[in-house]
Structure 1
Amino acid sequence: MVSCKPKQENNYRKIDASTIFTNTDSIPNKHYVGSKKCKECHPNQFKDWEGSHHDKSMQKANRLSIIAPFDGEVYKSQGVTSTFFNREGKFYVNTEGRDGKNHDFEILYTFGISPLQQYIVLFPDGHYQCLRTAYDTQKNKWYDLYPDFKVIHQEWLHWSRGGLNWNSMCADCHSTNVKKNYNEKEHLYKTNFAILNVSCEACHGPGKEHVNHALKNGENYKTDGSMQMIGVNSKALVDACARCHARRENVTLNHTPQGTFLDHYFPQLITQNIYHADGQILDEDYVYGSFIQSKMYHNGVSCKDCHNPHSNQLKYEDNRLCTQCHEEATFNTKRHHKHQMGTTQALCINCHMPGKHYMGNDFRRDHSFRIPRPDLSLKYGTPNVCTGCHKDKEDQWAYEQFVKLYGVPKENHFSDKLAPGILGRVGGKDSLMMLAQDTIYPNIARASAVSSLRNYSEQINIPKVLAFLQDKSPLVKAATIDLVGDLNVAGKYYKTVLPLLKDPKRAVRVKAFFALSGVSFSNIPENYKGIYNNVKIEFANQLKATAEFTGGRMKRAEYYQKIGKKHKAIETLEQALTLDPINNIVRTTLANLYYQVKEYLKAEEAYKTIIEQEPGFGLTNYEYGLMLNELGRPNEAIIQLQKAILYMPNNDRIAYNLALLYFKNQQENNAISILKTQINRNKNNTDLIYLMAYIHNEVDEINLAKKYTKQLLEIAPNNPQYLKFYQILDSKKR
């Protein structure tokens, strides 16, 4: 077991990636010597780094660092007027604050240099906030990061609140050795850092020991292993860069150089709304999640092969970037790419690395390096670069041209199996299982396949899924643990999950603990109780690390529910609503918990608030209606379910329960009417058909009851319940 105690001078030596590292102590700021100290021995690297995006990631606000004029400019967007000005050498914005009124806010820091620059102000509670209005440093104009998105001042997404909070959303990757120091009871920060920007030591680790060793040994100095990212293999290098260049969740309270990416974070898997169904970027993924999908990554290519690791710049701006590895005579020819040489269309990256604009004007490329697949566009609606460039053409044209030029696409990419599973197509479950089991595919794709199996919960073969807990990939193991937890079978199969508490990766261990948290400690074998308690501390630190997010509070509340502490879960969710008062995912969970502990008035008030804030969301009316019925208020329940089916007419479950409510309250005709409408929408829903047959039988319409029972038997001819019901009906007098 490796420990890390900051008071010792030899804490920060490189450790083996397989070593279990549980300690979460932070590194003292005094262990960081600053980039100018690095320059003394590494002038060439410093020269490359100076002026880079890392160097300028964050700066104190002054006339040299601020690119925008701040000379009285007025910018209006979504009903908010912002005025930017300077006064007595300081820079200010007058804009809408947390109370919905305009105030003057002093700019303390700048964020970035190109293609945009953001500006940061400080609130009295230690919250540093990034303005929603940014400055386009290429077009020299102010613009709204979310021009089509109205945000009111009470929302979490308002610039003065959580969505644009520097302490939690930005600081960890824009400064060196950040410690958030978040006080969750009072929701305030005392954040500090060793160095303002992304310094040499942000990547290489604290330099104090290294400098002392060099001074002591002089010309006899030999690498002592105290510095990170030196002489590591390609995957370890990508792993280290991923700390900031990945969309991920925090696993530990403080990041330190010890351990691997998965000891501190867990990456976002390929899911809808963040990625396209085939794995192409949709929302921001910060490169890592797409790069580890690629053949490049799996063949030893790392960030430094294309980028200067100190300046961040590309090594080449033309196809020489790719012909470092790929034979020029084969690929950098018109014969291959079918475009005029010397044009932008002939650049490899424009066919194999399409991109999207994020934050309004920041163009970022997809690093999965894939072959264009217009056939997948036709099947699944995913984008392809052909019609992305030829905007006047359709996907069918792109497919026909592709076949004409290159032949039928080979269906050997993981997307051929992932996309149908994510989108719920016929055979989707089997497709996901095949992908998850086949180790020739990238581990992030296999893990995403496991994760997507939750969409087929009723069809899953649990023993086959549990086999993935033995997989060599920590991503696959972690995704499997999450799935087992979501399916609520961790308690039944807890002995198969227990070994994961000893996994080398902290991300896997804390997920295993969360899945097992509903298992009584008395059922934990003696030889696991020690490690169980150790991982419990790691899990507690993860909850602390995510406490300023409503999602983090919800996870804590779920943990309390698992261990039977419903009132603690309620308290936690109530705190979450103070962070984001209009988060109705939290409020819905809270309403259910209020009902469970018989606080019916609070439950009803929660549902009413959700309906007021999000009118037209039928599931709320549905859940509220079910609760009203259980409280003995059927007429009010019917009204809510009527609204629910109006908003969600294709929801069979709502129709079923509304029909049942009608029937139980002597409104048989209404029950039959709603069922008839719904059965016409879904002719194979046996629950609806059975209820229709049952009601007709109860009102002595035997022939109609038999008609619908025959329909059931056509769908499921060997169902004993349907057979018996038909026999009963057949025995009755007509």
Structure 2
Amino acid sequence: MNRKQIVLLILAVVVGVQIVYFWLEGKPEAADAGKKELLTADVIAASYIGSESCRSCHEQEFSDWNKSDHDLAMQEATSEFVLGDFEDQVFESQGVTNKFFRKDDKYWVNTEGPDGKYADYEIKYTYGVKPLQQYIVEFPGGKLQCLRTAWDSKKNKWFDLYPDLEVHPKEWLHWTKGGLNWNTMCSDCHSTNVHKNYIPEADSFATSFSIINVSCESCHGPGKAHVDFIKSNNIKKGDPYQAEQHLHQTSNLTSVEQVDQCARCHARREQITEAFDHQGSFMDHYVPAVLRDDLYHPDGQIKEEDYEYASFTQSKMYMNGVKCANCHNPHSLELKAIGNALCGQCHDQKKFDVPAHTFHAVNTEGAKCVNCHMPGTTYMGNDFRRDHSLRVPRPDQSVVYGTPNACNKCHTDQTAQWAANAIEKWFGKERKPHFSDALTFASTRNPAAAAGLVTLLNDKKQPPIVKATALWYLGQLKNDPGTLAVFVNALSDAEPIIRYTALKELNAYPLEQTQNHVLPMLKDPVRSVRIAAADALATLPASSVPASFAAPYKKATKELEINLKERADFPGGQMEAGQYYERKGDVRKAEVAYKRSLSIDSFFNPARLNLAYLQNRQGNTKEAIALFNVVLQQEPGYAEGYYSLGLLYAETNEMELAIENLKKASQLDKANTRALYNLGLAYQRANQAEAAEAVYLKGLQRFPDSYDFGNALVILYLQNNSFEKAEQHLARLLGHYPNNPQLLQMKEYIRTNR
């Protein structure tokens, strides 16, 4: 498992309540009323009254929730909650020794610190309960860090979350760094009413929350108004929902509404607001990831730690009104029925829970609905989670695209072709049409896949998350001028995830082609869509914005900058800020953001590359070269890095180094024609005509119709007075480009100078 595959669902902890100010400007309720109210964290917290306040009226719900995974999401490290063995236990992994012990009725660990030296650290909090429990240490600057060594609460033993990975103390994945930082990675979902409050200038946090765990109010919202209303005895007969008017996660929600409520913590997403306040929709606070093939398998099955939202929302169940609470008790989180009886709530067991359908004997593993339709993946070492896309197994796709299938999850000694043959024998040759047919093909980046993606987009029955993914893949293909019209058309879709994705893809087009389509999106009712519109218009000066859009542009830009601020503790967030400021023309802020990204994670080379390009554009070529050399020290197989470095050395006329790096780039990435072409130019500038000739001929062998290689070769021959060779290759070029003025000029030059 490599670093990009490591998934870090980590921690939860508290720093004492801080005074934090929040302007409510821009929130729907404040904007509509024309108000501008200033609240402190103390005032906000006063609306949260604790789960015990719910108990007297909701005894059963409280009992279900008590000691659940939500209740135990985070607790103080006391004997009541600590599960791990701290009786002088030693656990070693990847050369790091961890000693767990107790001292003064507290729990401690001796382990490798941020400087690579061993030290004693007090365990302040427990994080989670089953199938594993993690432990949190308090660091300076309000940072709360989770150990990479966790307690397996099923097998009762210590284990390493990623035992095959050696991590340097300076890396993002080290337990003392950002990848295992509670404030950044976990706080929003594992405690109630969290305000992260990252301070970029000091690289510190003033994080606060109202309740340590996932309490009743984490889902239902602050309870004071509800309790006050009940105590007022103003309830009228005949209105079953009036008591719920002050709550947010209630029993009368539709599937879409309930799933969106759960999605804020059960989705692979990024947060775009300073804190979740239960106002607006899911995408007013978060942006979910689409079914990208770096996160999901090409057919949409879970791959990285993707959680449930994008899986479930691609399912037929979701599209037919099924919601989380149909299968799960929302308070205990347990399933509502055992085994196939759970599916039997809706599906006829006499039809489906029989060997004629399952092709397995009753009461065997192969006869369980979930093993065929919800195969799972183990994350964090021992946490087995099931795919919620509830799909039909497609081993035929496994044969072609290498996607996993439920059959081979059990029959590991058989091939995908064996499984595909069995399905064909049982159900015939034809499979029912499914969006995965188009997505798997698109994952090959074959331009011919565009037609299938457009068909998905025109199908009203397809899940919104699937259509958004189709737009993302179309952006990857970029093969057809007509694609622009597809993105523009998607801006009028009813689903915010589709409008958002379309706007992100429009960033690849010149602003003059998109401006008139994007400007109206500044007035979109959903915050994330407005932010995407502001980002797409970043290069447009405020003075050039039409008067009718001036106010929405200002508001959306402010929302965008809040979004960037919220992600400022991520190396990727700082890089995004740098890219934004570059587009705005603010070089100083861009440089600061890129450097902050690298201070958070010195191995985050995407930011280093952006900084190198920025330095080069500013004429600081030596600084750019130094940055590229660091990239290549850390990633010696990175072809694009050698290519860019070769070009920089060519700029400084260091031709031997230019040749060395361009040659390496062309060897590592044979599809990079520009690297090979520029290698020929470098040889030519270094007066190594024979080497340049060999490179150009190799280029023409791979790409016979190439103008660049042919033109460079003709010029090389002319420079060396090899008129016969020049004339031969020029004739071939003119066969492809008969009216090219430069080629015609060279033809005349040969005629008059031979």
Instruction: Kindly indicate whether residue 345 of structure 2 is the aligned counterpart of residue 329 of structure 1.
Output: no
The corresponding residue for 2:16 is none
Q: CA deviation at 1:63?
A: 1.4
The corresponding residue for 1:478 is 500
The corresponding residue for 1:98 is 114
The answer to which of 337-346 and 565-574 deviates more is 565-574
SS of 2:329's equivalent? coil
Amino acid at match of 1:202: S
SS of 2:137's equivalent? strand
Instruction: Kindly indicate whether residue 47 of structure 2 is the aligned counterpart of residue 31 of structure 1.
Output: yes
Q: Distance in 2 between matches of 1:696 and 1:682?
A: 19
The corresponding residue for 1:299 is 320
Q: CA deviation at 1:423?
A: 1.9
Change (3 A) 1:334 1:62: same
Give TM-score, length-normalised by structure 1: 0.93
Instruction: Kindly indicate whether residue 270 of structure 2 is the aligned counterpart of residue 246 of structure 1.
Output: no
Instruction: Kindly indicate whether residue 588 of structure 2 is the aligned counterpart of residue 543 of structure 1.
Output: no
The match for 2:150 among 120, 130, 134 is 134
Structure 2: 5+ residue stretches without partners: 1-19
Q: Distance in 2 between matches of 1:609 and 1:268?
A: 31
User: Counterparts of 1:232-381 in structure 2 under 5 Å?
Assistant: 232-381=253-402
Q: Distance in 1 between matches of 2:634 and 2:64?
A: 52
The corresponding residue for 2:486 is 464
Q: What is the root-mean-square deviation in Å for CA atoms of aligned residues?
A: 2.9
Change (3 A) 1:460 1:159: farther
Q: Distance in 1 between matches of 2:353 and 2:153?
A: 34
Give TM-score, length-normalised by structure 2: 0.90
Instruction: Kindly indicate whether residue 662 of structure 2 is the aligned counterpart of residue 641 of structure 1.
Output: yes
The corresponding residue for 1:597 is 618
Instruction: Kindly indicate whether residue 688 of structure 2 is the aligned counterpart of residue 667 of structure 1.
Output: yes
Change (3 A) 1:703 1:372: farther
Amino acid at match of 1:34: G
Q: CA deviation at 1:496?
A: 0.8
- On the 8 A contact 2:271/2:563 being kept in 1, the answer is yes
Q: Distance in 2 between matches of 1:20 and 1:610?
A: 51
- On the 8 A contact 2:229/2:243 being kept in 1, the answer is no
- On the 8 A contact 1:24/1:253 being kept in 2, the answer is no
**How many aligned residue pairs are there?**
724
SS of 1:427's equivalent? helix
The corresponding residue for 1:108 is 124
Deviation sequence 1:579-617 (CA, Å, 0-9, x none): 112221111111111111222332222122222232232
Change (3 A) 1:224 1:145: closer
Change (3 A) 1:285 1:223: same
Amino acid at match of 1:260: S
SS of 1:74's equivalent? strand
SS of 1:86's equivalent? strand
- On the 8 A contact 2:84/2:156 being kept in 1, the answer is yes
Q: CA deviation at 1:641?
A: 1.5
The match for 2:207 among 168, 176, 191 is 191
The corresponding residue for 2:223 is 207
The corresponding residue for 1:66 is 82
- On the 8 A contact 1:19/1:504 being kept in 2, the answer is no
Change (3 A) 1:374 1:703: farther
Structure 1: 5+ residue stretches without partners: 1-5
The corresponding residue for 2:698 is 677
SS of 2:233's equivalent? helix
User: Counterparts of 1:546-557 in structure 2 under 5 Å?
Assistant: 546-557=567-578
The corresponding residue for 2:175 is 159
SS of 1:459's equivalent? coil
Q: Distance in 2 between matches of 1:549 and 1:698?
A: 53
Deviation sequence 1:426-472 (CA, Å, 0-9, x none): 51233333323333211111111111223223534323332222222
Q: Distance in 1 between matches of 2:525 and 2:33?
A: 6
The match for 1:397 among 406, 418, 427 is 418
Deviation sequence 1:54-112 (CA, Å, 0-9, x none): 01111110112111111111111111111111111000111111111111110011111
Change (3 A) 1:730 1:345: farther
Instruction: Report % sequence identity.
Output: 40
Amino acid at match of 2:190: H
The corresponding residue for 1:383 is 404
Q: CA deviation at 1:634?
A: 2.9
Change (3 A) 1:707 1:334: farther
Deviation sequence 1:110-153 (CA, Å, 0-9, x none): 11111110000100211001110111111111111111111100
Instruction: Kindly indicate whether residue 473 of structure 2 is the aligned counterpart of residue 452 of structure 1.
Output: yes
Q: Distance in 2 between matches of 1:658 and 1:266?
A: 43
Change (3 A) 1:111 1:455: same
Instruction: Kindly indicate whether residue 671 of structure 2 is the aligned counterpart of residue 655 of structure 1.
Output: no
Q: Distance in 2 between matches of 1:479 and 1:205?
A: 29
Change (3 A) 1:313 1:707: farther
Instruction: Kindly indicate whether residue 58 of structure 2 is the aligned counterpart of residue 42 of structure 1.
Output: yes
Instruction: Kindly indicate whether residue 243 of structure 2 is the aligned counterpart of residue 223 of structure 1.
Output: yes
The corresponding residue for 1:86 is 102
- On the 8 A contact 1:271/1:448 being kept in 2, the answer is yes
Instruction: Kindly indicate whether residue 92 of structure 2 is the aligned counterpart of residue 76 of structure 1.
Output: yes
Instruction: Kindly indicate whether residue 550 of structure 2 is the aligned counterpart of residue 534 of structure 1.
Output: no
SS of 2:195's equivalent? coil
Deviation sequence 1:462-504 (CA, Å, 0-9, x none): 233322222222111111111111x142354211101111111
Deviation sequence 1:537-574 (CA, Å, 0-9, x none): 21121111111111111111111111111122112211
